[in-house]
Structure 1
Amino acid sequence: MARLDLGTRGKGTVGPIGVSLDIRSGAGHLDDAVLVEKLGYSTIWIPGGELTTLDPLRDVIQATELIPVGSAIIPARVHSPDDVLAFRQEIEAKNPGRLITGLGGAPGRYPLHTMNAYLDQLDNADPAIPPSTRILSALGPRMLELSRDRAAGAIPLLVTPEFTAHARQTLGDQATLAIMEYVVLESDPHLARATVRDPISFLVQVSGYPANLRRMGFTDDDIAGTSDRLLDGLVAWGDVDMVAARVRQHLDAGADQVVLVVRPTDAAAVPHEQWRALAEALIDQ
């Protein structure tokens, strides 16, 4: 059991505010990564659904200077342990301490068993990927325990501050907990909810999420209809002060970092101004 350790050329342990970076806009996302680092965010995370190859992680690391870059997550159903080992060895040779190996999406009927076997291969390799440099996507109690025992911690998505407190109890004080939080800087409730309803409607049907949403007190009707109640529980929306208050709820509940998944109301826009506003509100300058 150990907190995430990024080494001497990284920033040590993760700071409190990270950003999820959309890489689907072509090479423009590299300029976005540079901006995120200049604004003072602690970590850049690349969403797992966009990691059909691991190249974007390398590209973002090379485009920036010191900011750690994490995969959130590398899907185990797509990338083998050998893929991950070779990639990490390449990155460490030129940019040590910059890559956070986030893992998840274990396939099959028994994902816990599959992830254990995947981690075995990472541990038994030479060089291995140390548990202190990897983090797992975890929602259920047994996967949280695995994150505590065989990684540096967990990076859950679509959770409430109450879940954060529960996850901290399971992980204990020595593991890292990074919470991914959808953010919409919009005070109109209808527009704010509409901005995230489609992506969350997709995610809540993905294996693992429905059961965890029920554990958090949401109903089958909430899940099936992506209800306003569900969105209000999972999304930080409103003005900067309202969003900052939700972020601080997660931090107060035990999160080491909150990863801002910022969604502009204009789906074609990149949230430069939102990143700036949130950095001013949440990051000690």
Structure 2
Amino acid sequence: MDTGHVGVWHPLLNRAPAGEARAAATEIERLGYGSVWLNEAPGSKEPLANAGVLLAATTRLAVGTGIASLWARDATAMAAGAATLSDAFPGRFLLGVGVSHSTVAGRRGHDYGKPLTTMRAYLDGMDEAARDLPPAGAPRVLAALRPRMLELSRDRADGAHTYFVPPEHTAAARGILGPDRLLIPEQAVVLETDPVRAREIARAHMAYYLNLPNYTNNLRELGYTDDDLADGGSDRLADAIVAWGDAAAIAARVRAHLDAGADHVAIQPLAPGALDLTDALTQLRRLAPALGIEPAAGARQAAGAQPEVGARTVAGV
């Protein structure tokens, strides 16, 4: 699987109408990004089914689930879904599995219990089911933030997909995972050079996550204080979680994750106000040269999309 160093994570890839999502995926592929990631949250589509839709619409783009919740399907269904997609699209599907959050599990009628114990048992079930299925071949990564889940990602999976983390977390995660496991962090970004405006956009993005203990506990372990987490997040926290500025500044943050040990960074372009896939694609076009990304030869072109003219590669990422 050759995904390069940079992919795209965006909630609307798994919420937008199928035609819009397909067009976005083909444009992302044409621009030269290596992957797209589909989350699973209230209001999203079923991510494995939608992964098939986007894989069929593209030719080389990798599609990952970031993440498929174990509360949404039993272990046999998850293993079978991964086997189906990896058989149909060899080398292009990555299965990200996670325990999600207690509020999400509760909405589905489940008792969240102990996440690590739940994940271990679920992986046992997946491995048992896989004995009767065609070989999957798809890398399996776990949503992991803190040391024990990262250790499980090392011991029972191909690596970890991290979210809402700064580069110092990536460095710590690489230390736990060791050198031969995948590490794929998400990084929120916004092309905005005004600090006040950029931090407003960052805080709007962070608001939901700062109410989830999985994320706040992880941030405390990284040295962020209750003051950092209060009132929508301090400037220090906003700057750590969301990379903002010009394209060079955002490329520098991606490089920081790669230098810290990431194999691939999934950037999430933020927009002022509501989620906006059109704005995200505009930012991705502007960012590609600074990220060292060139248009992919032979990729399908989304209807109405125009190739960038005079795009250049900037060394460093």
Q: TM-score, normalised by structure 1?
A: 0.90
User: Are 1:53 and 2:46 an aligned pair?
Assistant: yes
User: Are 1:16 and 2:5 an aligned pair?
Assistant: yes
Match of 1:3 in 2: none
Match of 2:211 in 1: 205
User: Are 1:109 and 2:102 an aligned pair?
Assistant: no
CA deviation string 1:80-129 (max 9, x = no partner): 21221232233233222221000102552210010011111111112277
Equivalent residue letter for 1:279:
A
Q: What are the residue-to-residue correspondences of 1:65-84 with 2, within 5 Å?
A: 65-84=59-78
Name the SS for the 1:139 alignment partner. Answer: coil
Q: Distance in 1 between matches of 2:230 and 2:74?
A: 33
Do 1:131 and 1:152's aligned partners in 2 also have CA atoms closer than 8 Å? no
Q: Distance in 1 between matches of 2:45 and 2:148?
A: 27
Task: Tell me by how many angstroms 1:141 deviates.
Answer: 0.2
Instruction: Provide the aligned length of Structure 1 versus Structure 2.
Output: 274
Match of 2:91 in 1: 97
Q: Distance in 1 between matches of 2:165 and 2:97?
A: 18
List gaps (5 residues or longer) in structure 1.
1-5
Task: Tell me by how many angstroms 1:131 deviates.
Answer: 8.4
Do 1:131 and 1:151's aligned partners in 2 also have CA atoms closer than 8 Å? no
The counterpart of 1:245, out of the listed 249, 252, 274, is 252
Equivalent residue letter for 2:25:
A
Task: Tell me by how many angstroms 1:196 deviates.
Answer: 2.9
Equivalent residue letter for 2:65:
S
Do 2:143 and 2:161's aligned partners in 1 also have CA atoms closer than 8 Å? yes
Q: Distance in 1 between matches of 2:87 and 2:61?
A: 17
The counterpart of 1:186, out of the listed 181, 192, 212, is 192
Q: Distance in 1 between matches of 2:229 and 2:137?
A: 34
Name the SS for the 2:162 alignment partner. Answer: coil
The answer to which of 229-238 and 197-206 deviates more is 197-206
Task: Tell me by how many angstroms 1:51 deviates.
Answer: 4.4
Do 2:82 and 2:138's aligned partners in 1 also have CA atoms closer than 8 Å? no
Match of 1:147 in 2: 153
User: Are 1:276 and 2:269 an aligned pair?
Assistant: no
Task: Tell me by how many angstroms 1:207 deviates.
Answer: 3.3
CA deviation string 1:19-52 (max 9, x = no partner): 1132223231210000001111111111232644
Equivalent residue letter for 1:121:
G
Q: What are the residue-to-residue correspondences of 1:149-164 with 2, within 5 Å?
A: 149-164=155-170
The answer to which of 251-260 and 265-274 deviates more is 265-274
Q: TM-score, normalised by structure 2?
A: 0.81
Distance 1:130-1:26 versus aligned 2 partners, 3 A rule? closer
Name the SS for the 1:282 alignment partner. Answer: coil
List gaps (5 residues or longer) in structure 2.
106-111, 295-317
The answer to which of 73-82 and 33-42 deviates more is 73-82
Distance 1:114-1:268 versus aligned 2 partners, 3 A rule? closer
Q: Distance in 1 between matches of 2:257 and 2:83?
A: 34
Match of 1:44 in 2: 36
Do 2:68 and 2:95's aligned partners in 1 also have CA atoms closer than 8 Å? yes
Equivalent residue letter for 2:227:
D
The counterpart of 1:227, out of the listed 212, 229, 234, is 234
Match of 1:133 in 2: 139
Q: Point out the structure with max Rg over C-alpha.
A: 2
